[in-house]
């Protein structure tokens, strides 16, 4: 008997969401037996490399929100009537109006739970609109789902305020986050370090915290290290503001956007990850840095603590205190900073530790 899993991700083009799409589809193709068809709806077929999955392009979904909603509520329904899938997984927040045996939505955007500050609204006026829009779109049709999938336990608690216990909310970690077997250590006596912050120029990424810490350090004579940012300084209002205020700092490098290959090179060159972002559902660079064995200074927020998990070389920083960060950076440069082991229990059930576990949960009883 033929089975079918349909995956919709018509809005994904880059960054962490695209990584989620690729890894989820790879897992489905690997885990599901040959009698299962894997069908993926996406903006551009070039985004995926797969020999098994059938890719269906829906290019007009990216031409504005009205077209996107038309796709979610009407076009995908037509496709579902044709495919008659056993499982439909929407990877991008909105619960589509489709006909299937079992439906799930993956909610990865934390915007509804973010407190927008005045300066955030100045740099990105759409943040407030997204916060309100996503709050409404998340709730719409949410009870149609067999499972609502979130990346972390704190998000599950937020969703339960809306749904109560009526909806199954599965915590599914998007990466196992296992650390490198060999932690990356600097050569003893090295009097400089390379700090790396991979981030898009979004106001909530809190890049200015790092820049202000470096600005303070450069006023002294002991600072010899570098901070590399994956921002060019021309991308948007926030990037231009950062460049205008901090490009004169000799140790802050506006390196611009990186390819996947360049990112690997940066991780190899770096001595420490910086991640002071105020808003994430996961924070993929934290996982990537763990896999490289890198020490890290990350935001003291629930998302970061859960992503760091169990790790011996992480420190949680006050996202408002650049002076405290400056002290820690200088101590790290001098190789006198002492990291305290971080520990975190696995989320309560229902929980999937990886993509394979999630695929098994979504198809349980159907295979």
pLDDT digit string (tens) for 269-300? Answer: 999 999 999 988 888 899 999 999 999 999 99
Is 70 exceeded by the pLDDT of residue 176? Answer: no
pLDDT digits (tens, 9 = 90+) for 79-102: 999 999 999 999 988 899 999 999
Distance, in Å, from the CA atom of 6 to the CA atom of 305, rounded to the nearest integer, reads 33
* Beta carbons of 192 and 224 less than 8 angstroms apart: yes
Q: Domain-by-domain residue ranges, the chain? A: 3-172+348-363, 194-333
Confidence band of 178 (pLDDT split at 50, 70, 90): low
Distance, in Å, from the CA atom of 263 to the CA atom of 319, rounded to the nearest integer, reads 24
Residue 117: per-residue pLDDT = 81
Is 80 exceeded by the pLDDT of residue 30? Answer: yes
Q: What's the Cα-to-Cα distance from 75 to each of 61, 81, 184, rounded to whole Å?
A: 10, 10, 49
- No. of helices (H) and no. of strands (E), the chain: 13, 14
Right CATH number for 3-172+348-363 from 3.40.50.1370, 3.40.640.10, 3.40.50.2000, 3.30.2420.10?
3.40.50.2000
pLDDT digits (tens, 9 = 90+) for 58-70: 998 888 878 988 9
User: What are 150's strand-pairing partners?
Assistant: 171
Residue 29: per-residue pLDDT = 95
Confidence band of 110 (pLDDT split at 50, 70, 90): confident
* Beta carbons of 40 and 53 less than 8 angstroms apart: yes
pTM for the model stands at 0.84
194-333: same fold as 3-172+348-363? yes
Is 70 exceeded by the pLDDT of residue 107? Answer: yes
| Secondary structure class of 341 (helix, strand, coil) | coil
User: What are 272's strand-pairing partners?
Assistant: 195
Closest to 229 (Cα-Cα) out of 255, 248, 206: 255
> What's the CATH code, domain 194-333?
3.40.50.2000
18-22's contacts with Cβ under 8 Å and 24+ in sequence apart are 18/47, 19/174, 19/284, 20/91, 20/106, 20/108, 20/174, 21/47, 21/48, 21/91, 22/47, 22/48
Q: What's the Cα-to-Cα distance from 270 to each of 106, 189, 195, rounded to whole Å?
A: 33, 16, 6
Q: Return the DSSP state at 41.
A: E
């Amino acid at each position: 008997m033929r089975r079918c899993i349909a995956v919709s991700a018509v809005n994904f083009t880059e960054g962490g969401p695209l990584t989620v799409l690729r890894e989820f589809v790879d897992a489905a193709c690997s885990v599901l037996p040959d009698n299962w068809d894997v069908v993926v709806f996406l903006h551009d077929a070039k985004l995926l490399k797969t020999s098994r999955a059938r890719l269906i392009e829906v290019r007009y979904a990216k031409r504005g929100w009205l077209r996107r909603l038309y796709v979610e509520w009407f076009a995908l329904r037509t496709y579902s009537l044709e495919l008659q899938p056993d499982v439909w997984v929407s990877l991008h927040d909105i619960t589509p109006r489709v006909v299937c045996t079992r439906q799930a939505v993956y909610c990865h955007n934390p915007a509804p739970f973010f407190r927008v500050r005045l300066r955030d609204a100045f740099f990105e006026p759409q943040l407030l609109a997204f916060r309100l829009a996503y709050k409404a779109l998340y709730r719409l049709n949410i009870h149609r789902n067999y499972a609502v999938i979130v990346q972390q336990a704190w998000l599950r608690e937020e969703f339960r305020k809306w749904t109560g216990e009526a909806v199954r909310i599965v915590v599914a970690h998007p990466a196992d986050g296992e650390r490198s077997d060999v932690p990356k250590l600097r050569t003893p006596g090295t009097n400089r370090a390379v700090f790396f912050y991979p981030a898009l120029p979004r106001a909530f990424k809190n890049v200015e915290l790092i820049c202000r810490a470096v600005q303070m350090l450069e006023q002294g004579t002991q600072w010899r290290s570098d901070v590399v940012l994956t921002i060019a300084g021309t991308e948007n209002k926030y990037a231009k503001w950062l460049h205008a205020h901090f490009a004169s700092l000799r140790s802050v490098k506006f390196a611009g956007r990186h390819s996947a290959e360049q990112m690997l090179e940066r991780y190899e060159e770096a001595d420490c990850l910086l991640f002071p972002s105020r808003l994430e559902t996961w924070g993929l660079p934290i996982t990537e840095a763990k896999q490289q064995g890198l020490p890290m200074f990350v935001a003291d927020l629930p998302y970061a603590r859960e992503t760091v998990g169990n790790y011996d070389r992480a420190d949680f920083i006050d996202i408002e205190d650049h002076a405290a960060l400056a002290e820690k950076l200088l101590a790290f440069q001098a190789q006198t900073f002492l990291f305290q082991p971080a520990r975190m229990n696995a989320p309560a059930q229902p929980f999937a530790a990886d993509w394979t576990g999630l695929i098994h949960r979504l198809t349980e009883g159907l295979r």
